Structure 1
């Protein structure tokens, strides 16, 4: 037994029994029905009502012409609809006055189905962009999905706001997984890490918008995290300091990284632009995040136990990571900040700011000086008389 099919039959049967129920279903559209024959029949019933069919003003039982005319009108747009099936719909309706409730069930099924369809389109667009080296298709499809969620929230009568699910559906556990990285993505990440390790001040080109989570390989993300820590503390960056930072973070002890992996980063180093490689890594991260969000939203939409309001809000929450990556991607398109030219360090010497930051961790902080008075300083007195003891 399919509850959604029963609900579609019941709402159509209610409209066939009592044409006045259509006035309570103005918020329901023909495309909210799953079966094409149901879509055509509901559209036909609306057409007859708008044309002023005599059954709307008839006293007593509804004339048979209301059913036959509806079947004829719907048959002009779809095949396979017969008068016997119309009577099947009538018998499938327990009570015609429950038509708004049946219609709300149909709308609920349409919300699940629509969100799943747009999630599939987002996943396909992300996969296509990943192959073509683009991001426009995924971003445009994500905008369409966000607009559909807002429209569905308005139709359902809820406030669209991102809400994290308390527990991921069982389908999401198996569906949402880390995408397999391509060989080109792995090479781009390794080349970027090599440039950041070997070229001084290369981190300045990417540190503002590139994050460790943008790397498809978790090991590469940990290496970038180490480079970011060295850069943040103002310490010099090379193979030795990178290896030492990885050891301090326990990445060598727990097997996350190995000394051979860190050594291989600089092997075969070729001159390159950190910003250029960073853009490629960022672009791969955006399409990968879009695909992951799409799979998560589809898993949510396929959870029939999830109410439409919660489904919409959970889907908006699933788009959050994509919005965050998209914001940083837009940052990369801006003009780079001008580099300072004054007080440039000599070749081969670390910048003064880096030296000062490195020494600040071991330099004792001076004792706090007493607060100074802002008012006028009183004139010194010659000698203070001893105070008299009170009896």
Structure 2
């Protein structure tokens, strides 16, 4: 039997056998159940409890507790019968283990929820890349961050970015085919403008980085331009070619003189700021897609514990937070406040404590003063560096 299905049945069976177990499952929500019939039945049982069902005051559980729950759940889902409740009660080895069964259900929900939101972020990033926008990807990134913080509170852990021991195996992310050629043209045009108009480097050097270029060769050329600009040396196609040679780009075959000539020839007037924003906008959607794929790969690893999954997912969103900050700087927009929850100086909220105790052996809670200081919010990003190294 599927372990998740067994856990869902065991939770419901324990509550049907012992209504008092609901008091130990306040951190578990109906949406955490995978099967719709289980979701509806758990919601019905909680509603009966909140409405003060007579079964809560009796020593032995009356049949009405089961029949009323089935009737209430039947208003929202089809196919639930009283006969199925016998299957649920038979699937529960010990009603007192309800919090442990609930932990298993929550663990499955965490993996499932993060997977679903990662897919939505990836779809939004691809759609934005096609439309030449970034708003959809950034919105779903905020949604995913909020989901991760909520799940961390329910699981009883402090949300903080933690790098995985080994990066998840994901296929390389390529931009949509209809935009690949256009992105390459924008990058070449920007490099040509910066080569022919060296003063234009001041317009982009504060927020554009070599890694923002989709073509690695273009990124290396921009790095060379940045190095010349940083040293205050003249910039033209000859000095750029010389800098590329000094960095070994000609020797290792990354670049040829003919390629550089092709990039610089035929340039007309252009705005470096506008072209730089096109390149950075493409970088935002590519980074969002990469982060989404990494998070999905993490979530699909069933052996990864929920706390580690949440913190690894927050770490995977770090590059997107960094490029978003530079995008906002390029557009003259103030950086918004962190979207993540701010850790309390007095320790985690009571909901986290209850969730943690529900999935482990209760231990004495140390005084607030004895707790270690919390890590900074995952959404906090250092100001962009002007280095091109």
Same fold (TM over 0.5): yes
Cα distance in structure 1, aligned partners of 2:323 and 2:15: 48
- Determine whether 1:319 maps to 2:301: no
Q: Deviations over 1:250-302 (max 9, x none)?
A: 11111111121111111221210111100100111011111111111111111
Q: Deviations over 1:137-168 (max 9, x none)?
A: 11111111111111111111111111000112
**1:350 corresponding residue in structure 2:** none
C-alpha contact 2:192 2:263 (8 A) present in aligned 1: yes
Cα distance in structure 1, aligned partners of 2:58 and 2:198: 87
**1:182 corresponding residue in structure 2:** 180
**2:345 corresponding residue in structure 1:** none
Cα distance in structure 2, aligned partners of 1:164 and 1:179: 25
Larger-gyration structure (1/2): 1
- The structure 2 residue matched to 1:207, chosen from 205, 208, 218, is 205
**Counterparts of 1:124-135 in structure 2 under 5 Å?**
124-135=123-134
**2:84 corresponding residue in structure 1:** 85
Q: Deviations over 1:175-207 (max 9, x none)?
A: 354546611100000000000111131211111
**1:263 corresponding residue in structure 2:** 261
**2:226 corresponding residue in structure 1:** 228
C-alpha contact 1:33 1:110 (8 A) present in aligned 2: yes
C-alpha contact 2:9 2:92 (8 A) present in aligned 1: yes
C-alpha contact 1:175 1:296 (8 A) present in aligned 2: no
**1:142 corresponding residue in structure 2:** 141
Q: Deviations over 1:10-38 (max 9, x none)?
A: 00010111111111111111111011100
C-alpha contact 1:175 1:299 (8 A) present in aligned 2: no
**1:194 corresponding residue in structure 2:** 192
Structure 1: state its 5+ residue gaps. 336-391
- Determine whether 1:24 maps to 2:24: yes
Q: Could you state the TM-score of these two structures normalised by the residue count of structure 1? A: 0.82
SS in 1 for 2:187: helix
**1:114 corresponding residue in structure 2:** 113
C-alpha contact 1:176 1:296 (8 A) present in aligned 2: no
Q: Deviations over 1:43-77 (max 9, x none)?
A: 111111122222222223x2222212211111111
Structure 2: state its 5+ residue gaps. 334-389
SS in 1 for 2:170: helix
**1:288 corresponding residue in structure 2:** 286
Cα RMSD after superposing both structures: 1.4
Cα distance in structure 1, aligned partners of 2:198 and 2:114: 48
Cα distance in structure 2, aligned partners of 1:166 and 1:53: 50
Cα distance in structure 2, aligned partners of 1:16 and 1:262: 74
**1:42 corresponding residue in structure 2:** 42
Cα distance in structure 1, aligned partners of 2:35 and 2:129: 35
